[in-house]
């Protein structure tokens, strides 16, 4: 049985949404009406323009409430999470010691021209994020934080020269799809150099999802709010799994 879910305002299936947008027109009552009709063209019904005002010459801002006729069957949605199986730092160290038997070499960088290291630092730096220690603190990880604005070919060379087990690429700036371009360039270059299967390849950033990561050929993608131990768990489990297959 399919079960369609609609947005919930105050009654099951009322389909209520709130919208806000700017139109490049001078404000007038006609502009409010234009906003209302535009929402209708988007497929919404019961459109109410609850606020419309001038924000600059030739620009108006609108807040709307409306109903959508659309629903979605959540059961059919596939978005694998990589954050479910996280272990604690101590558990991960014990796991790596037992199952891998050597230090795991992890390199991370903000690639391309991106200079925003907040994300990669939160995962790698000793201090970590939200009280969850960064990978530098783990006894069983050897980490190399290459910082900001690392060129993709430089990172690939580093991966080869330093026998990196897991590679973390971070992108915060997403303007004009620069993040996807850089992520793609990295996975393609690793592939071209025959290194792709030798590393656990992970991407991260506030707009990254695991689904996007798999589409780009990454082993995992971590978005906003990710804790270092979640990344560490994924690296440890994936590497152990690969070693198990390799031994066979």
Partner 1 sequence: MELRIDRSCVERCRKLAAAIADPVETFIAAHSTVSVERAVLRLLGVDGITAEEVPLPNAVVDSIAVDARGHGAAIPFGRALAETGLEPPALAHALTSGGCTLEQFAETPESAARGALRPYVDEALTRITARRAERTEALVRLPQLPPPLLYVIVASGNIYEDRTAAVAAAEAGAQVIAVIRSTGQSLLDFVPYGPTTEGFGGTYATQANFAIMRTALDEIGERLGRYVMLTNYASGLCMPEIAVMAALERLDMLLNDSMYGILFRDINMKRTFVDQHFSRMLNAYSGIIINTGEDNYLTTADAVDQAPAVLASQFINEEFAHRAGLPDAQIGLGDAYEINPDLEDSFLYQVAQAQLAREIFPEASLKYMPPTKHMTGDVFKGHLIDAMFNLTSVMTRQSIHLCGMLTEAIHTPFLGDRALALENARYVMNTARHFGDEMVPRPGGAIELRAQDVLNGCEALLERVAAAGLMHAIEAATFADVSRAPEGGRGFDGVFARAADYYNPFEEALAPAAVRA
Q: Which are the catalytic amino acids?
A: 127
- Is 115 near partner 1 (CB under 8 A)? yes
Give dist(CA 163, CA 160) in Å, integer. Answer: 5
Instruction: Assess 79 for contact with partner 1 (CB under 8 A).
Output: no
Please pick, from the candidates 51, 101, 113, 153, the single residue that binds partner 1 as defined by CB under 8 A: 113
- The Cβ of residue 135 has, within 10 Å, a number of other Cβ atoms equal to 27
Q: Of 99 and 116, which CB lies nearer to partner 1 in the complex structure? A: 116
Helix 228-247 vs helix 89-99: crossing angle, to nearest 10: 10
In the list 41, 57, 161, 246, the residue contacting partner 1 (rule: CB under 8 A) is 57
Query: What stretches of the chain adopt beta strand conformation (E)?
Result: 4-5, 16-23, 45-56, 59-67, 72-73, 104-110, 141-145, 166-170, 200-204, 220-222
Region 116-175 residues binding partner 1, contact defined as CB under 8 A: 116-118, 121, 125-127, 147-149, 173-175
Interaction between residue 76 and partner 1 (CB under 8 A): no
* Calpha distance 86→84 (Å, rounded): 6
The residue written with tokens 């071209």 in the block is: 192
Nearer to partner 1, 170 or 238 (CB): 170
State the virtual CA torsion across 91, 92, 95, 96 in degrees, nearest 10: -150
Q: Which residue has the tokens 């066979």?
A: 248
Which lies closer to partner 1 via its Cβ, residue 50 or residue 55? Answer: 55
59 belongs to the binding site for partner 1 (CB under 8 A): yes
Nearest to partner 1 of 6, 127 (CB atom): 127
Using CB under 8 A as the binding rule, whether residue 2 contacts partner 1 is answered as no
Cα dihedral value 207, 208, 210, 211, nearest 10: 70
- Segment lying near partner 1 (by CB under 8 A), choices 44-52, 84-92, 111-119, 162-170: 111-119
Smallest CA-to-CA distance from 92 within 108, 81, 103, 82 is with 103
**Shortest distance, CB of residue 206 to partner 1, whole angstroms?**
5
The answer to whether 81 contacts partner 1 (rule: CB under 8 A) is no
Q: Considering CB under 8 A, how many residues would be counted as binding partner 1?
A: 32
From 222, 181, 224, 221, select the one nearest 206 (Cα to Cα). 224
In whole angstroms, how close is the CB of 40 to partner 1 at the nearest point? 21
Residues 171-210 that bind partner 1 (CB under 8 A): 173-176, 178, 206-207
Q: Count Cβ atoms within 10 A of the Cβ of residue 121 and give its class: 0-12 exposed, 13-18 middle, 19 or more buried.
A: buried
50 binds partner 1 (CB under 8 A): no
* Contact positions vs partner 1 (CB under 8 A): 20-22, 55-59, 61, 112-118, 121, 125-127, 147-149, 173-176, 178, 206-207, 224-225
């Amino acid at each position: 049985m399919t079960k369609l879910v609609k947005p919930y305002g105050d009654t099951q299936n009322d389909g209520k949404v709130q919208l806000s947008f700017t139109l490049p027109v001078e404000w007038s009552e006609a502009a409010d009406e234009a906003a209302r009709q535009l929402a209708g063209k988007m497929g919404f019904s019961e459109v109410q323009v609850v606020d419309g005002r001038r924000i600059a010459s030739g620009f108006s801002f609108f807040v709307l409430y409306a109903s959508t006729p659309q629903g979605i069957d959540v059961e059919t949605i596939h978005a694998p999470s990589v954050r479910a199986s996280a272990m604690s730092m101590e558990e991960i160290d014990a796991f790596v010691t037992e199952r891998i038997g050597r230090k795991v070499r992890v390199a991370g960088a903000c690639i391309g021209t991106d200079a925003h290291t907040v994300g990669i630092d939160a995962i790698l730096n000793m201090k970590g994020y939200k009280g969850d220690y960064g990978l530098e603190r783990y006894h069983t990880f050897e980490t190399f934080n290459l910082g900001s604005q690392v060129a993709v070919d430089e990172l690939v060379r580093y991966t080869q020269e330093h026998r990196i087990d897991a590679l973390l690429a971070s992108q915060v700036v997403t303007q004009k799809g620069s993040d996807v371009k850089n992520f793609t360039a990295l996975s393609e270059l690793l592939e071209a150099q025959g290194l792709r299967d030798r590393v656990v390849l992970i991407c991260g950033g506030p707009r990254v999802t695991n689904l996007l990561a798999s589409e780009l050929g990454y082993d995992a993608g971590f978005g906003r709010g990710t804790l270092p131990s979640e990344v560490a768990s994924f690296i440890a489990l994936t590497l152990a799994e690969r070693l198990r297959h390799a031994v066979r």
